Structure 1
Amino acid sequence: MNSDSGILTRPGCGRGWSKYDCTGDYSGYYFWDGLDIGIGLVENLRPVAQRSADFSPRTPEEILEYVKNTNFGNEKAPFVPFADVAEHRGGIADGARASITEGETARFTVTLTPAPSEPRAVTVNVVRRGGSTPIGVEGQLGVRTVLVGPSGSARLEIPTADNDDVGDNGYLLLAVVSNPTYRLSVFGGAAEVDVASDDAELVSDAVRVQRVTDSAATIAWDAQPGAASYEVVWLEGTAPRTKFTAGTSLELTGLQAKTSYDVAVLDDLWNRVGSVRFLTLEPGGGERFYPVLSVTAGAGVTEGGAASFTVTAAPTAPTSRTAR
């Protein structure tokens, strides 16, 4: 390195004429013969064109592999790409888990870096973890093959089925399976999507949900002896909201889509009537009804006769529903 002390060959000393000695003290001009640094192979990494416009190495490992491949006469040699997978986030903020609502489609993107010149098969494993409710994915689980072309990416979609079960739906996991034709990305080669339930308890603590849309919900409760009015309380973000009514039902408006709400009802003496939790629908998701079911028995019969029962839904849903 050229410096005021000549050509530096080791810290503190120079080779050539200098006005400093090795200690850095000024004491006239001297010619110092420092220790040479032996340099072996010098790698001249020249800029080269990328193999693919979509190739964007993200880690030092990927950069090193690409530079080694393109700078030592191996431009035409087969390059073993890195395989990775990412979930479609749909506007969900970084750091939050990606999720869909039952009945929607989980979307994953499988990538190869750099992109292959010809379609290359990537093996993935689709797994459902947690939850025991029927979401219609049984025939889509297990090992799958995805063809990734010159674009460098391919999408794999897993549709789910809506159900009327209030249980946990769990989540879907997609993981890249090792293969000699590619290497797993250092990012892990796996992605997860939660499958949220849009079903609410029909009756919870004497308070129930009757109807839900993407921005509103109607709740109802049992009349309390001696109560003349009721107070309904819920959270909007972290701020509590309150409405009063003399009836036994209320429509909540201005709600956020795909958001869980906890609602409590109090009577005018501040006695707790009950509470309920529900999930609003996705934007444009229409409306969902949760009628209260009651059953009455018909007239008595003798042996050999047919017993009859009548199941009634209130309020009446616009479409037929299956009662278990």
Structure 2
Amino acid sequence: MNLSVSQSGDYAAAGATGTKTVTITSSGTATYTVATVGDEVDEADGSIVVAVSTGTDYDVGTPSSATVAVADDDDPTPEADDAETPAPKTCSTTDAGLLAEVAAKVTRHGTTGRTDLLEMFTSTHNTMLGTDTYTVAQLRARPDKQSANWNRPGPNVLWQRIYTELDRLETCRAASPDDPLEAPQTPTVSISAGAGITEGGTASFTLTASPAPATTLTVTVSVGQTGSYAVAGQTGTRTVTIDTTGSGTLTVTTVNDSTDEADGSISATIQTGQGYQVGSASTASVSVADDDDPPVVKPTVSIGAGSGITEGGTASFTLTASPRPAAPITVTVSVTQNGSFAVAGQTGTRTVTIDTTGSGTLTVTTVADTTDEADGSISATVQSGGSYVVGSASSASVSVADDDDPPAVVPAVSIAGGGGITEGGAAVFTVTATPKPATPLTVTVSVGQTGSYAVAGQTGTRTVTIGTSGTESFSVATVDDTTDEADGSISATLQSGQGYTVGSPGAAAVAVTDDDDPPVVEPTVSISAGDAITEGGTATFTITASPAPQSPLTVTLQVGQTGDYAADGTTGTKTVVIPTGGSAPYSVTTVGDDADESNGAIVVSVSQGQGYTVGSSFSASVTVSDDDEPQPTSVEAPSAEVLPNGHVLVTWPAHSHGSYIVRAISVGFKHPTRQIQNHDENSYLFEDLQPGRWIIQIYTGDFRTRIGRGWLIVTVP
């Protein structure tokens, strides 16, 4: 069975999280454990979550995940003592006499010996990981060239003390202490709307930067609308230029059509961007008035219900036509009931006349019996007709209360889930007891989840008390994290207990939608070969990454050959850097010699590496043709037979020249090359070739002189 192991915090042992498996024996159960690390770091409590993933031969049930809380047992880090804090070692500027300020924040993840993170928040966000000296490349103080060094006091000093020292380093002066600090300010951009317009007019917005920028500033604005008024292409992402006066204007033209529609608006919202920050007045709206006459419409008929009644009373409904009809209209109504209260003939299809006052009444009489039954209702639903339109309030119900004493029964408890939520929201469940209990009733509920959304402590067994009203709601809080994950759910299942029975439905679930962006997909790297060459030429290849990498990508290659053509040092493990354009060339030079030999090839294969995956076209070869005159003797092409046991029998015509050299080369150099020298027979049985494609070569004479050679390619299953 496939499992997904995750955690909240940093407790799981190395390698304990991620995708795992567990085997369930014929007993039907199995135990799975996740080891945690007992460190000396004070940190927030966390949890280990194990969820069942989909797989073959089984279905994922409910609950599909479980959470075990993990408590931290370390003492908190004591506050640093100012008396023990040494002064900072270095604070300087490259321009003597300028005042510099360092804005800093320290995040402590542990003591020395672990990976510590020091974040210096300056105009260029720099980060130091585990080093003892930090240099701020550009300070907030001024835009001209400045630098400030801060040295960690010693190798065993905690980051908490570093934070205190940085507080003491808030201001550092150079030679001239009287030089004032004029820190540059990032303009804050706000937006205001012009006056309302009529369709066909132009909506105007004014963007203001405070303080005014030293140079023109481009601001990104998102333009939207209520209704359908803007000219095509006017909405969506727009840019506005604010000049050094600190102001810029955005206009949105509208269409003057002939369609009657509701008044709308044009809205503009400042988006985040470079060189400015968004002010509190980040959104503005210009109203757009429609100037078209409405069409002649049929009256819209809606229905409203009177007050609830007790059995034996009369349920009343009021039908309203808007606008009022010029003449009475007949409206068809379908009357139904929940329970058995209506007098015979009162349900089914009924008609109601609405006169020119715009109103009509429908009544339904009920029976006062002596049978104890659940409260019910009388419902009336407006049906479509030719002289009117059915309004949104097309149905209404009048509750009917039973007035008979109930028998002594045990309430049946059911549960219902609220609407779906987005992570960070609260899943709501409603528990209902039927009939209503005479006294408060405590019900046991088991809360589970699919995925890892519930706040720690929210799942597991809990109790809900249903009052005499017969219903009670409870909620399960979820976590709004930044991890992309599959959508999940929060489930609640009623457990058996005293004083009630579990009704139907006995379980409910609320869908939880993940709102995080998926991770960046690693590019897939493939290779293609250029044209065939003659010995002495250069074999060319193209390595392609899809999609193109966001930064230069280093790819590992394996360069091999069939024959002996590659120049010295050009084979073996090599690398190539693919730029952000998505492809890079790679070439292998060959040697033009005087020895007659069989044609060969340069073979380049993509190997596994970091930051990419290997595509299906992972290997390519360029044929290398020999241009030398043949020697007097040669070996005719061998033949090969793959035997049922996986052995490969290679045979070739006998030759009188002498002994042979037999070689087996793995295509792509996936396996070690096999070579047999001074072989006297004209056949050889390979018993240990690994599955894959192999190049079989037969030589006569010395290996270097290679008087003759024959070769073939065989596939070992």
**TM-score normalised by the shorter chain: which range applies?**
0.3 to 0.5
Which one has more relative contact order, counting CA pairs under 8 Å at least 6 apart? 1
In terms of Rg, which structure is larger? Answer: 2
Superposition TM-score, scaled by structure 1 size: 0.39
Superposition TM-score, scaled by structure 2 size: 0.19
